Amino acid sequence: MSGLSTALIVIGLFLIGGIYSFVKQQMPKSLIVLLSIGAAMCLVAGVLRLEVWN
């Protein structure tokens, strides 16, 4: 596992925690959707960069 893939996965998980927090605080839905897209992109990029696929 490379450092960049680890960082992307950790950032994605951090953003998921932010999504949970924003939902509990009843923040605007557009902000939650934007954060969800960012978290999904980070997680997908981190998983795709894993070296197990080669």
Query: Mind listing the pLDDT tens digit for each residue in 8-25?
Result: 999 999 999 999 999 999
Q: Tell me what pLDDT residue 21 has.
A: 96
pTM for the full model?
A: 0.86
Contacts of 22 (CB under 8 A, 6+ apart): 31, 32, 35
Q: pLDDT-based confidence at 52, cuts 50/70/90?
A: confident
| Residues 42, 44: Cα–Cα separation, whole Å | 6
Radius of gyration of the chain (CA): 13
Q: Which of 10, 15, 14, 12 lies closest to 43 in space, CA to CA?
A: 12
What does each C-alpha distance from 12 to 31, 38, 54 come to in angstroms? 16, 8, 23
